[in-house]
Amino acid sequence: MAVKSHPQSPEPSPESLVRASKLASNSVETLPEGGLAAQLERGEPLRVKLGIDPTAPDIHLGHTVVLNKLRQFQDDGHQVVLIIGDYTARVGDPSGRSDQRPMLDSDEIDANARTFQEQAFKVLDRDRTEVRFNSEWLRMEPEDLLRLLAKATVARLLERDDFQKRMNAQEPISALELLYPLLQGYDSVAIRSDVELGGTDQKFNLLFGRDVQAAYDCPRQIVITMPILPGIDGVRRMSKSLGNYIGVTDAPEDMFGKVMRVPDKNIEEYQTLLLNGEVSAGEAPNLAKRRLATSLVDRFHGEGAGQVAEAAFNRIFVEHEAPEEVESYPMGEEATVHLPAALAEAFGVSRSEARRVLAQGGVRRDGQALAPEQLDYPAPELDGCVIQLGKRRYRRFESHS
């Protein structure tokens, strides 16, 4: 790829250096070194880019790490450009992949794009966010596409670690996947971004975007990579497919409870990345989790929701009482209830699982453990009772009539 040189930015002042340091806080890398301060020294609002492929309908707290950084740039007076990758989602980002991503259909991509925007605005200022869809410029004429393809070599594209690992493992790499970094880089050309943000897994794509900009005779963007938030298992990255996520649309009680499940060793990292660096040194892990959970519930569900969610958590896990609102389970019209079958239907578990929990004394009726040996009950004895399966699942058994 032929890279053109551009005039050097002015030497940054102490004020610009301080602003740059604050804006780069909690990031992993800001490249090139000193570039952000030099950009700020120009005295003009920067165009700060984040590209998201709408491959799933919901966002989780892992996504908000980068969104929080975008909001920090907004609050510093800069223009955030949120690019919805409705075109690149059809290609599939190979970052962090050991196989080829499945292609999504147009309806699914469009539906995901709508929900993603609404959820992103729980963090970003809607009025100060420019939303663009990259199909605007990537549905280009064949001549323009060929011109773009000519800007890079296959050898350069194959430098990325993901491709190297897959080639070593003799796993296939599609031509579409090779095209992805070029398309994402062209996004930066189309919107003339000054800064691009992404997770550490996006580093190759972000740096490649600088090369594409230079090849089109555009000033190169600054690259800021952010940490990857681990899931509530404390090991793997937060992911809906892994089931270790906290969704921004989770019910308040569920959000609070999931935060309380974060391992103690990860709570400071969660505080740093989700509370904009507000870490209470020496705070007991349980108290730190409660403060974090309350703050997050308030942020996504409104002031005061965190306190209500904490009260519900205490009711179940501290006072060992049922929640105030319990989903009903209609028992039917039979005079006798076979408990393993009813538990399986009410809680969506297998009969063998229901029998196992019952045998371990893990089934309660209105707070009292049921005898493991009794499997059948007269329906009136269960009618109106709150049945608890395990530690946190409840149903109110009610007669059909």
Q: pLDDT of 353-374, one tens digit each? A: 889 889 988 898 877 789 888 9
Across 93-102, 286-295, 354-363, 381-390, least confident range: 93-102
CA dihedral 178, 179, 180, 183 (to 10 degrees): 160
Query: What is the spatial distance between Cα 398 and Cα 386, in angstroms, rounded to a whole number?
Result: 9
pLDDT of residue 278: 64
Burial degree of 209 (CB within 10 A; 0-12, 13-18, 19+) = buried
With a pLDDT cut of 70, the percent of the chain lying above it is 91
Determine the pLDDT at residue 173: 82
Convert the pLDDT of each residue in 241-283 to its tens digit: 788 899 999 889 889 989 998 999 999 999 999 987 566 667 8
The set of residues, in sequence order, having a beta carbon less than 8 Å from that of 351 and lying 6+ positions away, is 340, 341, 343, 344
pLDDT tens per residue across span 188-234: 999 999 999 999 999 999 999 999 999 999 999 999 999 999 999 99
Average pLDDT of the chain is: 87
Q: Are 205 and 185 in contact (CB under 8 A)?
A: yes
The mean per-residue pLDDT over the stretch 47-69 comes to 91
**pLDDT surpasses 60 at 101:** no
Query: Strand pairing of 222-226 and 195-199?
Result: parallel
Predicted local confidence at residue 10, as pLDDT: 66
Which tens digits make up the pLDDT trace of 148-162?
Answer: 989 888 888 888 777
Distance CA 15, CA 384 (A): 67
Quote the pLDDT of residue 319: 64
- State the CATH architecture for 328-398: Roll (3.10)
Spell out the CATH class of 14-226.
Answer: alpha beta
Sequence spans of domains, the chain: 14-226, 252-317, 328-398
